[in-house]
Amino acid sequence: MQHPLHHHPFVQLITVVFSMLACFILLSMAAFFLAIPLFDISLGQLMEFFETGELQENLMMLKYFQSVQSLGMFVLPPFIIAWLYSGNTANYLKLNISPSLTSYFLVIAIIFFSLPFIGFLSQLNQNISFPEGLENIEKWLMNKEDSARELTGKFLTADSWKGLMVNVLLVGVLPAIGEEFIFRGVLQRIFSRWTRSAHWGILITAFLFSAMHIQFYGLIPRFFLGLLFGYFMLWSGSIWLPVFGHFVNNTSAVVYYYFTSNINFQPEKYDSMNFSGAAALVSLLFVLLLGYLFYYTEKRLRDN
């Protein structure tokens, strides 16, 4: 007889965390030893790369480890969870539900019309000041943010179309599939069932999605994106629309960076752009309007 806690949301959550850690560790270990023949280096040289931080200077090796870690942490665990708790992966992850073509276009519109509002949220986030006594924490967070920005700049560096396509795969495709499968496909389902509320499920999952990136000064705008992806999932019943929205958001940033960096664009100028409250309000109103059209389109599709 099956244990009554086997399908309890808490047990499922623990299983998800264990699966993510196990897959991450196993694939990372395999990638570590495979890197020796792939990059024609010795074990000592590879260890030195990690110890000195020189891995960040070797872009191909950095991208190799990032892609393997992404597969281990996000792509494989959802399929393990779906197999354990359902046996029908397509049904559990909502892979077998096809949204309308109109919804795909609406997702594109929502993502792009949300940019001014997301930019405004980013400004608010970056202007958060810590109270006295927490200056060291604030300084640490700012240093982490600067390091993440520098690493992202190196990671997205590409001097050819081939390099651009590699970045689209690693930054656009893999995170869109992996992160949406695990967050919207698995965790949102668990928290919605646990709280008995689809909206609470979306809120909790969006927060975890944002916090997982470990970038405090991007927490609020990324949380808003998580909300969008969560409602794409709820209203369509398909994992493919949040995956597509995530892909559009990430890939547009990759392509934008590629073209602007090749014309001596300075990222710090973009970071200092000011998004007015009026522009943010108009942006939000458009997002709400398009969101209603999205909801209505998917509802009509299901009703028919």
Per-residue pLDDT reduced to its tens digit, 67-84: 999 999 999 999 999 999
Residue 253 and residue 270: Cα distance in Å, rounded? 12
Band of pLDDT at residue 292, cut at 50, 70 and 90: very high
Q: Indicate whether 123 and 231 sit together in one domain.
A: yes
Q: Do 65 and 105 fall within a single domain?
A: no
59 within 8 A of 100, measured Cβ to Cβ: no
Tell me the three state secondary structure of residue 42.
coil
Are 23 and 130 in a shared domain? no
Contacts by residues 210-215 (CB-CB < 8 Å, ≥ 24 positions apart): 214/144, 215/144, 215/145, 215/148
Q: Which of 91, 123, 150 is the last residue of a domain?
A: 91
Same domain membership, residue 129 and residue 260: yes
* Eight-state DSSP code of residue 205: H
Tell me: pLDDT of 162 over 70. Answer: yes
Domain enclosing residue 274, as ranges: 93-303
Final residue belonging to a domain, choices 91, 123, 155: 91
Determine the pLDDT at residue 272: 44
- Residues 241 and 135 reside in one and the same domain: yes
Hey, is 151 helix, strand or coil? Answer: helix
Let me know whether 111 and 50 are in one domain: no
| CA 271 – CA 254 distance, rounded (Å) | 16
Question: In terms of domains, do 124 and 86 share one?
Answer: no
Residue 36 has pLDDT above 50, yes or no: yes
Give pLDDT, residue 13: 94
Nearest to 233 by CA among 296, 290, 189, 285: 189
User: Is residue 128 left, alpha or beta, with left meaning phi > 0 and alpha meaning psi from -120 to 50?
Assistant: beta
pLDDT digits over 117-159, tens only? 999 999 999 888 877 777 777 777 777 777 777 777 777 777 7
Cα–Cα distance for residue pair 260/33, rounded to 1 Å = 37
CA-CA-CA-CA torsion for 67, 266, 222, 112, nearest 10 degrees? -100
Average pLDDT over residues 9-37: 94
Q: Which of 91, 152, 92, 121 shows the shortest CA–CA distance to 222?
A: 121
179 and 266 part of one domain: yes
Judge whether residue 196 has pLDDT over 60: yes
Could you tell me the two tokens for 304?
């028919």
Choose one of 58, 91, 124: the last residue of a domain: 91
Instruction: Give per-residue pLDDT as tens, 214-236.
Output: 788 889 999 999 999 999 999 99
**What is the Cα–Cα distance from 146 to 73, expressed in whole angstroms?**
24
SS3 251: helix
Cβ-contact 100, 232 below 8 angstroms: no
Q: Considering its fold, how many domains does the chain have in total?
A: 2
pLDDT average, residue stretch 168-185: 95
SS3 for 179? helix
Q: Are 143 and 264 within one domain?
A: yes
**CB neighbour burial string for 148-186, b if at least 16 within 10 angstroms, e if fewer:** eeeeeeebbebeeeeebebbbebbbbbbbbbbbbbbbbb
> Average pLDDT in the 188-212 region?
96
Same domain, 25 and 138: no
Q: Which of 123, 110, 26, 24 is nearest to 72 (CA)?
A: 24
Collect all residues with Cβ–Cβ distance below 8 Å to 171 and sequence separation of at least 6: 155, 156, 250, 251, 253, 254
For the entire predicted model, the pTM comes to 0.89
Q: Are residues 38 and 107 in the same domain?
A: no
Are 120 and 220 part of one and the same domain? Answer: yes
CB 119, CB 271: distance < 8 Å: no
